[in-house]
Structure 1
Amino acid sequence: MSSPAPARAGISIIGAGPGGLTCARILQRNGIAVTVHERDPGPDARNQGGTLDLHADNGQIALREAGLLDEFFELARPEGQEMRQLDPAGAITAHEVPAPDELFKPEIDRGQLRDLLLNSLRPGTVHWGRALDSVSGPAEGPRQLHFADGTTIETDLVIGADGASSRVRPAVPEYTGVSFLEARFSDVEKRHPEIAELVGPGGAHAADGERGLFAQRNSGDHIRVYIIQRVPADWISASGLAPDDTDGIRAVLLDKYGHWSPRMRRMITENDATYVDRPLFALPVPHTWEHNPTVTLLGDAAHLMPPLGVGVNLAMLDASELALALTNAATVDDAVRAYEKTMLPRSIETAELLEHGAEHLLSADIPDFDSDNDAQP
């Protein structure tokens, strides 16, 4: 089978995260039809996570191609670029304050970004409740997508934008040895003023080489704190605890952070809900694949890395470049080749720089945190 022209091809994106939705938006903006398949039953099925910083040299480029950059700046929080480095006593040891007009990497809540992208798509673009089981069919196409609800569809191009647990990508991520435990705080100015003052309008990081905390202001008077530890991936169950045993987990944490000051330990003891376990996984470096004219990957499905300043930004840049390649190429195969020729070297270079980078999250130095540190499964 010869590769079809993109304008006449069936294009299926797996995953309605920022990368998948950005790709769909730019394709539609350039007159190319696309369908997005998302396993969530609807747009409000789950909390989309914390806040993201979108960089001028990648994420914002993608939003410009999507025609959404002005709307992004209306929602974004430039003050969220502030970063504080604290010691375990809670004293500020370094302080980065953005200039009043600084817009290099303003923050936006993940849910707000997703809504911005969703609302820009034509009605019916996203098919909800479509959990992918497998992809079959010959490499030259057409491909069959088999979903958990028993349905099967045929498509000319499969774009895997389904994140860390991708069903399109055969490679299995490896545990980095470092885990996040998320704690959430609401109505912080009234209910948690000490934590609000400690964190400030942006983010605050503290670590002692073995354990750390990263706190981040979200919109709506919320703060999320990520408790960072070098532990086995199953450390909660190995401690004889269940994920919803807040008191039991808290007791373990207070023992580990016992030498930290009481004001810092508030970020462990005063959370408003159960903890959320988020062990960090990464793909082997380098992660590459043989060219396939009917399947490609973007974002975490292509290059899952530690959360150190790349995450969503690279996913959206991938999405933009793939959509523009499909817009400008004579065939789907030509577009995939052109996209991967740029994307794979870039992602390999970045992954090599960040390999074992999860260990930096425990360093007393300021890590270049990506706000994508709350990646959803």
Structure 2
Amino acid sequence: MLNIDENLLRFIDFTAIVREAWQAYDDTRTIIRIVDISAKVSTNHVYRVTFEDNSFIIAKLSYYGQFEHFEQDHTIIDVMSNNLPAPFENLLARSLMKGNKLFIYRYQNDIIDAWVVFYRPIQIKKRAPRRLDDEQIEKFAEQLALFHKACFNIRKTLPKSSKSFKTDILTLLDYLETDDGRYEHRMHEKVIREQCNLLLQQFEIFRYSGIERIPVFVDWNIGNFSITSSFRLFSRWDYDWFRMSTRMMDFYFLSRVVSNVGDRTAFSYYIGPLMEDRFIRFLKAYHAVYPLTSMEIVFLKEVYRFFILNYVVKDGRYFFHEMFAGKLQREAFEIYLPSIEKEFKADKLLKALNL
């Protein structure tokens, strides 16, 4: 678990790190401007780097998590960007190589361990509407089914990933054994342990069900992808939560995209969207293209539990800005985790899919 003094971060010139990274990559091209184009909701930094000839690239700087995971994830994504078949061959941004290897710059001092990767600019078409109509929900479902099928087909060509459901949850449990962990979660340690142990038990059952790991991006909010006028997936960016896992990891955010209130920038992670009729419409259209199994549907509950434990409880204060992290963690214990057993009804989804 990475510990960073947020007060000391204020004294770090992140653009200087990006310049240093570019010097290490190619010192023959001079940077004239670096503009922060970050979404301002997370601790990651994204920059538009412009050169003397007015060409530009995108730089991403991150300092949460582990460098090894950052390197693995971006290596896998880079192979994906080359191996995905049509119509997804240009869906992902390609990272810059140096020689025959993906270029990742690691900057370390007494305050921070930060990593920079450069992307070629990606084309963007239309943003999906904040609230989809019924036809758009079905088209979106068909596109995600086709994309997941393409990811499944190339899964054996991708580099290995050491990050998994189990390793992330064990990392959280290990953190609870430290002084920092006991202090941060002193009010909720018992609940966290109970939820982690329950998830690990269910994971063992699911692990032997034969479900394959494929590349998933998890965070499918409408600010992370673009579509064509016919609602085909055109481009996808923001790979902060990328992992190799069950395809079901994508479905909580997909339920938010198609929810009745629509996708929005307000940060709340209620379980409700998974139970909406609109999500059932999405599941039916997806299932018609790339059939789901009853085990996968049942495991959606654990996927949601994992999302709250991993991305809100474990990594929330590192990934989200402070103004969001505190609110989300309070809601995790007061609302999100208690709602799982009360509100998730697998039978409703299974019946709708005739499973």
TM-score by length of 2: 0.26
| Higher helix content, 1 or 2 | 2
| Higher strand content, 1 or 2 | 1
- Taking CA–CA contacts closer than 8 Å with sequence separation of 6 or more, which of the two structures ends up with the larger relative contact order? 1
